[in-house]
Amino acid sequence: MNGLFCASAIVMHQDTSYFLARSPAFAYKVIAAVLFKDYPLILQCIHNLRRKVINMKSLFFILLIVCFKTGYNQRIQLLQSGNKVSLRGLSVVTDKIIWVSGNKGTVGRSVDSGKTWKWIAVKGFEKRDFRDIEAFDAVTAVIMAIEEPAQLLKTVDGGETWKIVYTNTTKGMFLDAMEFWNEESGIVIGDPVDGRFFIGRTFDGGSTWGDIPKDRLPLANAGEACFAASGTNVRSLTLAEACFVTGGSCSRLLWKGKPVELPFPQGKASTGANSIAIRDSKKRNGSSYFVVVGGDYTQDTLSEKNCFITKDAGKTWVVPPQPPHGYRSCVEFITMKELLACGTSGVDFSTDGGMHWSLISNTGFHVCRKAKNGKSVWLAGADGRIGILNASH
């Protein structure tokens, strides 16, 4: 409502209303720019108004409204940075309990809403890359070491000790991401080996894992793989089913049904889908509303073909009129309408189901996650960056 008020105030202001009334298309552009927080368009509108509206008080009034609207915007508060660790694993248990993981065998944990952090270099794994983490409480978590060999480790004492719960020495094995339906049932996916994607399952909270038989694994096209970018390319689809997205030579959505081709850029090892968010996936029959982000991580400021939305479970796909402002490695539903997306070139926020995105930070992050039992939204990225979404409603 604040956005509507601001846009209406600009349009109805006595010194600008005459000009806008004679230019309804421009009036619509002003409203859209403010409502969807499209700052380049806002600046363009102000420039055009400056040429048409001579009264400087009017221009000041418009700028004041835009600044007020900007103040209403969500922003990212940076809490940690500078330890030269790339963080791609993030699991937010509650508003107080946050776990992160990354390269150099690093795991971090906060139990006081990010005020203080305990940093751990897992003994014997100092050179490993933990690209995903799943935490269940302040003392229990599972981490994923991606390759050479692919391994999963679990702690039940807050990271003081870690037990290897899964090892796969198969040549070419590369783990990409984990997802848990609850505290017992989980899945881990990996890049293709011998033409099929890898899938492992646990039914005891990650204490033991088993491989899905090869003849039941999804077939992969030549050059197709997953991105171990944020731990969010696999998501629960229903209470009993998961899906995941791919990239490389082709980009697809894979699940129990027929694979769905995704319209992302394809053909390069750096292109394709990176992350999928499922709205209301806790329903027994699942959801039909998915948002998928990605692009080309070697050209991370390109906004073309970096986000697609389906409202009918993959039958058709919609291109957002205002896409995220660059390559995005993670997307997360915050509410039924609000989403956050992040990547190496910045962070975007949407208030309308992903149809319009506004850039809220130029700081890069790899992953963003909402608290499983809470309302806070956290981000993690390169150089040990940890941030939290602050919203003023």
Q: For the segment 111-160, what is each residue's pLDDT rounded down to a tens digit?
A: 999 999 999 999 999 999 999 999 999 999 999 999 989 999 999 999 99
AA identity, residue 168: N
Q: 216: which DSSP letter?
A: G
The count of domains in the chain is 2
Domain check: are 194 and 79 in the same one? Answer: yes
Is the pLDDT score of 306 beyond 60? yes
Residue after which a domain boundary falls, among 23, 44, 72: 72
Domain check: are 79 and 25 in the same one? Answer: no
Domain check: are 18 and 84 in the same one? Answer: no
Helices assigned H by DSSP within the chain: 2-12, 17-21, 24-35, 39-52, 56-72
Structural domain span for residue 106: 75-390
pLDDT at 239: 87
pLDDT at 7: 46
- Helix, strand, or coil here: 51? helix
Domain check: are 185 and 42 in the same one? Answer: no
Domain check: are 83 and 54 in the same one? Answer: no
Domain check: are 88 and 25 in the same one? Answer: no
As a whole number, mean pLDDT of residues 100-104 equals 98
Per-residue pLDDT tens digits for 223-254? 999 999 999 999 999 988 999 999 999 999 99
Residue after which a domain boundary falls, among 72, 96, 126: 72
pLDDT at 135: 98
pLDDT at 267: 94
Domain check: are 138 and 210 in the same one? Answer: yes
As a whole number, mean pLDDT of residues 3-30 equals 50
Per-residue pLDDT tens digits for 45-83? 655 655 554 454 554 455 445 444 443 467 999 999 988
Domain check: are 210 and 257 in the same one? Answer: yes
Domain check: are 12 and 90 in the same one? Answer: no
As a whole number, mean pLDDT of residues 268-283 equals 91
Domain check: are 23 and 88 in the same one? Answer: no
pLDDT at 41: 57
* Omega before residue 320 within 30° of 0, cis: no
Domain check: are 235 and 284 in the same one? Answer: yes
Domain check: are 188 and 46 in the same one? Answer: no
- Helix, strand, or coil here: 64? helix
pLDDT at 67: 45
pLDDT at 60: 47
pLDDT at 33: 59
Pairing of strands 377-380, 367-370: antiparallel
Whole-number percent of the chain with pLDDT over 70: 80
Is the pLDDT score of 315 beyond 80? yes
Q: What's the CATH number where 242 sits?
A: 2.130.10.10
Quote the CA–CA distance of 363 and 342 in Å, as a whole number.
Answer: 9
As a whole number, mean pLDDT of residues 3-20 equals 46
* pTM, rounded to two decimals: 0.84
